[in-house]
Amino acid sequence: MSTTTCVQLDELQKKPTSFHRCIFSGPSLNSTAIKEEKTSLVSQTEDARQSVLLLKGVREQYTLVNDHTIPAILNPGEILVKVLAIGLNPIDWKAPAFNFGIPSLPWINGRDLAGLVLQVPGENSRVRVGDIVLVPSTDYRDIRKAAFQEYAIATDFNAARIPSSTSIHASASLGVAFVASVLALGVSFGLDFSVLSKSPGPNLPQIISQLDRNDIPADIQDECFASESERPQRGDWVAIWGASTTTGLVTLQLAKLAGLRVICVADVARHGAKLLESGADLLVDRHDTERAVEIIRGVTGGKLRYAIDIVGKDTAALLEKTLDPSGHSHLLGLTGLPKERNPGIRYHTVPIKLFHTAPTVGESMVRWLEDLLESKTLTLPEIVRAEGGLEGINAALDLLRSGSVSGKRIVVGLDS
């Protein structure tokens, strides 16, 4: 039995932190066989240090820093995770390049991680020490939760346990895309996932209706409490512009599980085979945009009511033209919406922060994700593994920005 992970944990013990049990891993982390053993509690001290990737200024590269403090558990429900793999999202390069989503400087970024649970809030926590979890780190204003570091804090209701048969690296690619897809379909459009015949999920409008409106951040209240009467029914069409994105591929799969008919706008030559495999009902090539609009309008008879754009406000404006403008159509933009609004269409942005601000919502989503992974109902994104650990992230983000790694998520391992 390999000692890879235990060596790392031994190292961690030298930098004292607090955990209950040690794990033993198999020869590679992909085939990790995890066993738990009791060890003594070592109290956390201010001396505990780690490597992090720090953003020191906008439009700068990230800098590797080796003597940063290991983040501390400060609130009920928080867990400490040793980061084993990081999935790279477009926002990781866009935020410094365009100076948004950076609360202050210096800052740590990174939205998707998978890792080993080292510390839990108590016996009643839904995750246990030794679990391998994936964490979508949507709470980017809390630097302790960022992915570009060796150790990160998460809440137990935002961590999904990964089955032992699932690749740790591939699971690091999924989190933010899953959260965005579920909230887009399940909250903005109000789709009820509890009625699925295979791997039923949460009925999010019903869970949200139990919440006090004032407990939800003010800027997403309207999006969260929109009418349920508009929710899509089995057989309804939904169009996705940018279906080959990681978020698009997850959205396609979840929409198909719910019995919707899905129109996928993408580079068909490049991504058509994969989209068909994932259940696409109609492929529309993205390059002739006017023709794409005509095709969607023609196939849906001008009655399309649901559309999701995952590319930008120009393509959102194209999708807008495909919708029936009679007052009951919905356009969701993940990356922007058209400036001019059509009074016959309802516009949505995904209420992403609901995932970390509403524990019952977050927990229902990660429980469903655990089930989807366990039952292999959800196909994980294809990944490209980048070398070099934290230090390799700058080069990997350049690769992501270049667009040359298309249809795949870049994942950086910290376990070598």
Q: Which stretch binds ligand NAP (CB under 6 A): 97-105, 148-156, 231-239, 262-270?
A: 262-270
End-to-end CA distance of the chain: 17
Residue 68 or residue 346: which is nearer to ligand NAP going by CB? 346
- Tell me whether the omega of the peptide bond preceding residue 16 falls within 30 degrees of 0, making it cis: no
What mask, x for binding ligand NAP by CB under 6 A, covers residues 96 to 115? --------------------
What mask, x for binding ligand NAP by CB under 6 A, covers residues 346 to 385? ----x-x---------------------------------
Among 12, 118, 180, 191, binds ligand NAP (CB under 6 A): 180
Residue pointed to by tokens 């933009």:
333
Compute the least distance from the CB of residue 47 to ligand NAP, in Å. Answer: 37
Is residue 116 within the footprint of ligand NAP (CB under 6 A)? no
Compute the least distance from the CB of residue 244 to ligand NAP, in Å. Answer: 4
Give me the residues paired with residue 116 across strands. Answer: 82, 132
- Of the candidates 96, 85, 99, the residue with the CA atom closest to the CA atom of residue 134: 85
Is residue 185 within the footprint of ligand NAP (CB under 6 A)? no
Among 244, 253, 300, 364, binds ligand NAP (CB under 6 A): 244
Question: For the sheet containing 261-266, what is the strand order?
Answer: 282-285, 261-266, 237-241, 306-309, 329-333, 345-348
CB neighbourhood size of 38 (10 A): 9
DSSP H helices, 189-267, are: 204-209, 221-224, 246-257
Among 109, 166, 315, 364, binds ligand NAP (CB under 6 A): 315
Site for ligand NAP (CB under 6 A): how many residues? 25
DSSP H helices, 162-230, are: 168-171, 175-183, 204-209, 221-224
Among 20, 49, 126, 270, binds ligand NAP (CB under 6 A): 270
64 by DSSP, 3-state: which?
A: strand
Residues that bind ligand NAP (CB under 6 A): 89-91, 176-177, 180, 242, 244-247, 266-267, 270, 286, 310-311, 315, 334-335, 350, 352, 403, 406-407
